[in-house]
Amino acid sequence: MTMSEFGSSRGMGRASEMMWKFWYPALRTEQVRRNKLVRAMLLDVPLVLGRDTTGKPFALRDVCPHRAFPLSFGQFDGANVECAYHGWKFNAHTGQCNAIPSLTEGSKLKCERIYAGSFPCEERDGYVWAYMTNPEGRGLDELPSPVPELPKFGGKFETAQLHAELPCGVDQAIIGLMDPAHGPFVHQAWWWRSRHSIREKEKQFEPIPNGFRMSAHAPSANSAPYKVLKLLTGEPATTTIDFVLPNQRFEQIRAGKYWLSSRTTVTPIRPDRCRLDFYAAWNILPWFPVVSFIVNVFGPRFIRQDTEVIEKQAMGLKYEDRMMLIDDADRQARWYFELKSAYAEAQRTATPMKHPVNGLVTLRWRS
């Protein structure tokens, strides 16, 4: 048996869990409206978001550089955010200050040298994303590459979005998401599976940039929705699951010309709180809303079960957050931590990342 312990200081959630210089979904598209300011919290950074007159979203640090008043209490005219305390004005996209009402004529102070923290902001796949440069929202030397898009395999598709807040640090939530062994105990249901349906699984994994992939395989025989899918499409389905730093899980199910593609992200809000966001797109029988039904009925039920388990786990984590990661069932969790530290090391030393997964690896567990 291989076993390893990951020790850490007590108290769940450490600032070191946060990974900077990545895109994170800040709010859902419909939460950010034109000419309106709305708050969000990402990686323990308060943000104020909005859309300019053309609809382009922006994200500023919700802290006025003058005396820390939250900018979200201020006015927004479609281009500039005006702080409600002393009326300083900031360009919504760049954070640059362009007016300080208290200045007298002939003042030497150059207000254009003052900036509110700001974060690159983009809209994609149903979310407004912010690129979290650093906690201050400063010193962005180059524009980041765009938000990775959810793979889609044809022009016409349906979509769905689900979300939940989880009372734990991002690491616990992510390893909870990739953990195959809790299924038969937490996600029991007559139409899905019972603990008696446990059987041996064997899956192949391979390294991908900043992550790892469960190679294309036939979905588990003991999972009902996949059986439904096969019945409907008449084609055998294959599924591929990727995990990519910092927080993204992609799953693709393909059956002939049919496909279902989803992304789940777990985004840190505060050190002890995170949010799960699920976005799916599919082209399976759009005239017969079976996938929509599966996603919108079974999806929330799954998420509720996971949320409940995490709420209970938090009770124990208050006293002990060391963990035992055992054998292949917990191998993905170990890879996650190893990826994180390999990534941090590569950043620190400015060298290529040493990937913890060496070529094809077969993992075996019972679930």
Give min distance, CB of 187 to Fe ion, in A. 6
Give min distance, CB of 183 to Fe ion, in A. 7
The verdict on 32 binding ligand FES (CB under 6 A) reads no
The verdict on 168 binding Fe ion (CB under 5 A) reads no
Piece of 79-87, 152-160, 310-318, 348-356 that binds ligand FES (CB under 6 A): 79-87
Give min distance, CB of 32 to ligand FES, in A. 22
Q: Which of 8, 73, 79, 85 binds ligand FES (CB under 6 A)?
A: 85
Give min distance, CB of 67 to ligand FES, in A. 4
Q: What is the DSSP string of 62-120?
A: SS-TTT---GGGSEE-SSEEE-TTT--EEETTT-BEEE-TTPPTT----GGG-B--EE-
Cα separation, 191 vs 266, in Å, equals 27
- What mask of x and - would describe binding to ligand FES in positions 87 to 126, judged by CB under 6 A? -x--------------------------------------
- 323-326 and 3-6 beta bridge pairing: antiparallel
Q: What is the DSSP letter of 245?
A: T
Beta bridge pairs of residue 48: 39, 60
Please report which residue ranges of the chain form alpha helices under DSSP H: 170-177, 183-186, 224-233, 290-293, 299-317, 331-349
Piece of 78-86, 237-245, 266-274, 347-355 that binds ligand FES (CB under 6 A): 78-86
| Residue bearing tokens 């990402």 | 42
| Residue in 19, 94, 20 with CA at minimum distance from that of residue 60 | 94
Give min distance, CB of 305 to Fe ion, in A. 6
- What mask of x and - would describe binding to ligand FES in positions 131 to 170, judged by CB under 6 A? ----------------------------------------
The verdict on 86 binding ligand FES (CB under 6 A) reads yes
Q: Which of 64, 168, 274, 329 binds ligand FES (CB under 6 A)?
A: 64
Give Cα 117 to chain centroid, integer Å.
22
φ, ψ dihedrals at 225, nearest 5° = -55, -35
Who contacts 274 (Cβ-Cβ below 8 Å, separation ≥6)? 165, 166, 168, 169, 170, 173, 266, 267, 268
When the beta carbons of 85 and 157 are compared against ligand FES, the nearer one is 85
Please answer whether residues 76 and 59 qualify as being in contact, where contact means their C-beta atoms are separated by less than 8 angstroms. no
The verdict on 17 binding Fe ion (CB under 5 A) reads no
Please answer whether residues 39 and 47 qualify as being in contact, where contact means their C-beta atoms are separated by less than 8 angstroms. yes
* 306 interacts with, out of ligand FES, Fe ion, none, CB within 5 to 8 A per kind: Fe ion
When the beta carbons of 18 and 241 are compared against Fe ion, the nearer one is 241
The verdict on 172 binding Fe ion (CB under 5 A) reads no
Give min distance, CB of 85 to ligand FES, in A. 4
The verdict on 83 binding ligand FES (CB under 6 A) reads yes
Tokens for 285, please give them.
């029988």
Q: Which of 67, 257, 312, 322 binds ligand FES (CB under 6 A)?
A: 67
Binding site for Fe ion (CB under 5 A): 306
Binding site for ligand FES (CB under 6 A): 64, 66-67, 69, 83, 85-86, 88
